[in-house]
Amino acid sequence: MPVRKAVYQPNHGQRLRPEIKYSQKSAPCLANNASSMDNCGRNDNVAVVVKPPILPELPTMNRLAFEAFFFGYLLLALFGQYIFIYKTVWWYPNTLPPSTTTLNFHLIDSNLTTFLIILFSRRVLWTLLWDQLRPGFDNPLLLLMWIVCSVIIWSIWFMELVKNLYVLYGLGMGLKLLFLCYPVALWFPLCGFAKGNKLSQFISLFQKPKPRSKTYNLPNCSNKFQYQPDCTFWAKDAFNGLDTIPDPEQIRERVVFLRKDFNFKMTEIVFFSMICAYYVGLVPMVFTKSNYSYDIVWSLQHTASVLINSFSMLSYYLLPPSYLERMHRCASLLGGYKPIDPIDLEQEYKDDIVSYKWNPASAYPRGIVIKFENKLFMSIGNYNTAVPVESSHCRFFFMFDQPLRMLNWLLCFHFTAAMFQIHLLLWSSKWDQLIVPALLQFFSYYVLFTTLRDRIVLGKIYNLHQQLRQ
């Protein structure tokens, strides 16, 4: 496969020991033009960027399909928690007679159930209105109709939510309503105003788009209605081909945006999976009557299962293989360093060794010794532009240097989630303990199957690419 070579221009070499001399064998290949670069052999110390393989378009869910899929899972999980809590038993007290059906439906609070269903439908409604039905600026009449319909729909949604809260408050559950409002109080400071969130997308409608950067020609969405995170947009376009390698300063600047975008995705995955487990598992347990008895252990196990499966499904959707591939391409241009001891370096390499002072405008090849803040570092990537002492660069390079590392971690987590549900199924001894895990396993199997399919396809492509390089 073709490779792209980029030349770095280090400062004057600085010997580790006075008696060591600079040898041409260990000196980097300093080329100032394409012809001199071609004369350098493959084994010479030249910063090399390997052209990544062309990946196929793997089938994935669109956003509306995933939100509907996830909404169906939450409804089924909520129904499963009601089965664990309100199933009919023979020893039910005479003061509260059981119903003639399998579940004590007369004990289930319909207002609480309606509140939870309306709350879970928020993501589906937002995706349907914002992504599927939102028009552009070219049709003002259609845009005005969309705004009016959106205001009406969200007003009805909010009024239904408040109405059920008011009914619950009238039933003497004022103190328990704090359990319903507690996650909302955490959502605003943690995720409410973060870049890329739904609230920030709505606020961006009333703001002017930022001008495109002239220094590095950074992309920016000119149409603020077509929202897309700037970091993801740049990663998609800048690394499709390596005909022009970005500047080292531009690479480090974009790593900051990509790292923030990844951290935001992980925050959304962790926080929303905890919210799902909270409302699906814990809230129905809190709103049961004090004189009612049920199997708390299985209800808590069901809550843990919802937490794990929600994390698994959200990570499957928000961290697809295409997104991880863009992060890998950026990490391959960032590179990394490892600290070394001068004594160990002299014992390992008996040949002449030269250290170079780190230059922020240079890209260093693999195996070059860099001196930064009176410490020695050795480059470990093919193309190294990172700051040697920057911990965030080290973590970014470690997580995304190998193209399949994050995908392997996600696959192991999806497999663990499926095994946890099989464990619950094997230890079940009653009909409710058997039917609920069996129904919820279909969602885990789908996520596991699609992730395993992507891992097998990408693994074969990267293995073939590695063989062709060798």
Domain encompassing residue 34: 3-51+337-380
pLDDT at 211 over 70: no
Task: Please tell me whether residues 69 and 45 are part of one structural domain.
Answer: no
Q: In whole angstroms, give the CA distance from residue 443 to residue 33.
A: 56
pLDDT (tens digit per residue) in 142-157: 888 888 998 999 999 9
pLDDT (tens digit per residue) in 229-283: 334 444 444 444 444 667 888 888 888 888 888 988 998 899 899 999 999 999 9
Q: Quick one: tokens of 142?
A: 């259609």
What pLDDT is stored for residue 120 in this prediction?
92
The torsion angles phi and psi of 17, rounded to 5 degrees, stand at -130, 150
114 within 8 A of 157, measured Cβ to Cβ: no
pLDDT (tens digit per residue) in 95-135: 566 666 777 788 888 889 999 999 999 999 988 888 888 88
pLDDT at 217 over 60: no
Task: Please tell me whether residues 177 and 131 are part of one structural domain.
Answer: yes
pLDDT at 345 over 50: yes
Q: Residue 187, Cβ neighbours under 10 Å: how many?
A: 15
Task: Please tell me whether residues 266 and 193 are part of one structural domain.
Answer: yes
Task: Please tell me whether residues 21 and 72 are part of one structural domain.
Answer: no
Mean pLDDT in residue range 83-103? 70
Q: Quick one: tokens of 101?
A: 């059906």
Q: Domains in the chain: how many in total? A: 2
Q: In whole angstroms, give the CA distance from residue 349 to residue 102.
A: 76
Domain end among 346, 380, 414:
380
Residue 19 within a domain: yes
Residue 57 within a domain: no
The span from the first CA to the last CA of the chain, in angstroms, equals 9
Residue 461 within a domain: yes
Q: Quick one: tokens of 167?
A: 């009914």
Q: In whole angstroms, give the CA distance from residue 175 to residue 43.
A: 71
Task: Kindly provide the residue ranges of all beta strands, DSSP E only, lying in 318-431, ordered along the sequence.
Answer: 337-339, 354-357, 369-372, 375-379
Q: In whole angstroms, give the CA distance from residue 82 to residue 65.
A: 26
Task: Please tell me whether residues 360 and 325 are part of one structural domain.
Answer: no
Phi/psi region, residue 293 (left: phi>0; alpha: psi -120 to 50; beta: rest), is: beta
Q: In whole angstroms, give the CA distance from residue 63 to residue 125.
A: 12
Residue 358 vs residues 14, 240, 252, 369: alpha-carbon distances, Å: 11, 29, 14, 9
Length of the chain: 470
Task: Please tell me whether residues 312 and 210 are part of one structural domain.
Answer: yes
Task: Please tell me whether residues 341 and 277 are part of one structural domain.
Answer: no
Select from 436, 384, 156 the least CA-distant residue to 251.
Answer: 384
pLDDT (tens digit per residue) in 145-201: 888 998 999 999 999 988 988 888 877 677 778 888 777 777 666 655 555 555 555
Task: Please tell me whether residues 251 and 138 are part of one structural domain.
Answer: yes
Residue 396 within a domain: no
- Cα dihedral 363/366/368/374 (nearest 10): 70
Q: Quick one: tokens of 402?
A: 């190998």
Residue 145 within a domain: yes
Q: In whole angstroms, give the CA distance from residue 353 to residue 39.
A: 23
Q: Quick one: tokens of 455?
A: 């891992």
Q: What percent of the chain has pLDDT over 90?
A: 23
DSSP state string for 178-230: HHHHHHHHHHIIIIITSTTSHHHHHHHTTSPPPPPPSSS-----SSTTS---H
Provide the 3-class DSSP secondary structure of residue 3.
strand
Query: DSSP state, 106?
Result: G
Alpha helices by DSSP H, 87-121: 110-120
- Choose the most confident range, by mean pLDDT, from 92-106, 335-349, 448-462: 448-462
3 within 8 A of 51, measured Cβ to Cβ: yes
Residue 395 within a domain: no
What pLDDT is stored for residue 347 in this prediction?
60
DSSP state string for 276-333: HHIIIIIHHHHTS-TT----HHHHHHHHHHHHHHHHHHHHHHHS-HHHHHHHHHHHHH
Task: Please tell me whether residues 143 and 33 are part of one structural domain.
Answer: no
Task: Please tell me whether residues 202 and 247 are part of one structural domain.
Answer: yes
Query: DSSP state, 369?
Result: E
- Choose the most confident range, by mean pLDDT, from 228-237, 287-296, 318-327, 341-350: 318-327
H/E segment holding residue 326: helix 321-334
Between 355 and 405, residue with greater pLDDT: 405
pLDDT (tens digit per residue) in 398-429: 999 888 999 999 999 999 999 988 888 888 87
Is the whole model's pTM more than 0.95, yes or no?
Answer: no
251 within 8 A of 364, measured Cβ to Cβ: no
Residue 386 within a domain: no
Q: In whole angstroms, give the CA distance from residue 238 to residue 245.
A: 9
Task: Please tell me whether residues 12 and 147 are part of one structural domain.
Answer: no
Q: Quick one: tokens of 194?
A: 């973060």
Q: In whole angstroms, give the CA distance from residue 402 to residue 382.
A: 12
Q: Residue 248, Cβ neighbours under 10 Å: how many?
A: 24
Q: In terms of DSSP bridges, do strands 354-357 and 47-50 run parallel, antiparallel, or are they unpaired?
A: unpaired
Residue 232 vs residues 261, 262, 367, 369: alpha-carbon distances, Å: 8, 10, 31, 33
Q: Residue 5, Cβ neighbours under 10 Å: how many?
A: 19
Task: Please tell me whether residues 120 and 71 are part of one structural domain.
Answer: yes
Domain end among 349, 380, 411:
380
Residue 389 within a domain: no
Handedness of CA 161, 314, 422, 295 (dihedral sign): negative
pLDDT at 209 over 90: no
